[in-house]
Amino acid sequence: MLLRAGHAVARNWSGTSQPEAMKAPAAASSLDSRCAKFVWTCSTPIPVAMKLPTGCIQNPPIDVFSAIEPVFRRAMHAVITGGNMRMMGSDQAVAEVTPFRAKRYVSPTPSKAAPDALYWSVQMTAVSLQRDRASFMRIYDHFSPRLQRYLRNLGVPESMADELVQEALLTLWRKASMFNPARASLGTWLYRVARNLYIDHVRRQPHWLPIQDGLDRLDHAESDRRDSQPESSFDQDLLRQAIDGLPPVQAKLVRMCYLESKSHSEISAELEMPLGSVKSSLRRAFAKLQVSMRTPR
């Protein structure tokens, strides 16, 4: 079933430079969902050997990746844009598909445009399927200083923060196949990993990690089951803008909550603000930010 979908899509995309699907939105969306399935298959190492197009299996790993990469990029595009075919436009979508080694994605020096969710998904696929250290180090270079800063802001001593950052990145290395780009961006995924390590190591809630693993598995099973578009595919830029656009008090509370990990009672005491007001402000902020995540591109 999965083999057939992936195989058909791969042929489509290697065979035509201006695929039929781009011209007809209805056809495109059904193609999108097949692509999404294919990507999901590809991001799971064990079954992938069985599910790749047969021609790929005999080839060295790099060729497997080359073979699926255009399909992957196309599918990721669909997944990340929520299947809306972000019509900026079909030309660009095609342009993103064809050049496998486009400069933007392999250049070792950072390009002007910030790497996007698609870029990180491709790196993660390389880590997961090929155990590719160069891709891993691109992820490391971008995320580890941010994880480090996050942990330091939470009051974690420097040496422990260093250790937890390494632990987070090792978790990424080990569990790369668990990363589902349709479910959450790499930034969100790593945030979860770092937050969980913080609660386990620093807050010393001894049962937190297994509980989070359990919740992850539930999400995993769920997103596997669901055929609909993922709920979390949204424009990170809109969320970023919405955060920047929060009124000062709400912005302050959101930051105290996330970046200082303060409970509502602690925030209330520190700001001498009634607990009810802290909660209602945070509630309004969350509602606004959720709207930004639901806004179609």
270 counts as binding another protein under rule CB under 8 A:
no
Site residues (CB under 8 A) for another protein, limited to 119-158: 128, 131, 133, 136-137, 140-141, 143-150, 153-154
Determine the length of the chain: 297
Q: How far is the CB of 150 from another protein (least distance, A)?
A: 5
Among residues 85, 72, 73, which one has the least CA distance to residue 21? 85
Question: Which member of 86, 104, 192, 252 binds another protein (CB under 8 A)?
Answer: 192
Site residues (CB under 8 A) for another protein, limited to 56-75: none
Burial class for 75, CB neighbours closer than 10 Å (0-12, 13-18, 19+): buried
Q: How far is the CB of 27 from another protein (least distance, A)?
A: 29
For residue 154, the SS3 value is coil
DSSP assignments along 81-128, one per residue: TTTS---S-HHHHHHHHS-TT-HHHH-SSPPSSPP-HHHHHHHHHHHH
Question: Which member of 189, 229, 235, 250 binds another protein (CB under 8 A)?
Answer: 189
With left for phi above 0 and alpha for psi between -120 and 50, is residue 204 left, alpha or beta?
left
112 counts as binding another protein under rule CB under 8 A:
no
Question: Which member of 68, 75, 161, 169 binds another protein (CB under 8 A)?
Answer: 169
Handedness of CA 92, 98, 103, 108 (dihedral sign): positive
CB 111 within 8 A of CB 81: no
Question: Which member of 264, 271, 273, 297 binds another protein (CB under 8 A)?
Answer: 264
- Pick between residue 18 and residue 241 the one whose CB is nearest to another protein: 241
239 counts as binding another protein under rule CB under 8 A:
yes
Which tokens go with 201? 């190591």
Q: How far is the CB of 239 from another protein (least distance, A)?
A: 5
- 203-222 footprint of another protein as x/- string (CB under 8 A): x-xxxx-xx--xx-xxxxxx
What is the rounded distance in angstroms from the CA atom of residue 243 to the CA atom of residue 232? Answer: 17
Site residues (CB under 8 A) for another protein, limited to 81-100: none
Q: How far is the CB of 275 from another protein (least distance, A)?
A: 6
276 counts as binding another protein under rule CB under 8 A:
yes
Site residues (CB under 8 A) for another protein, limited to 1-60: 44-47
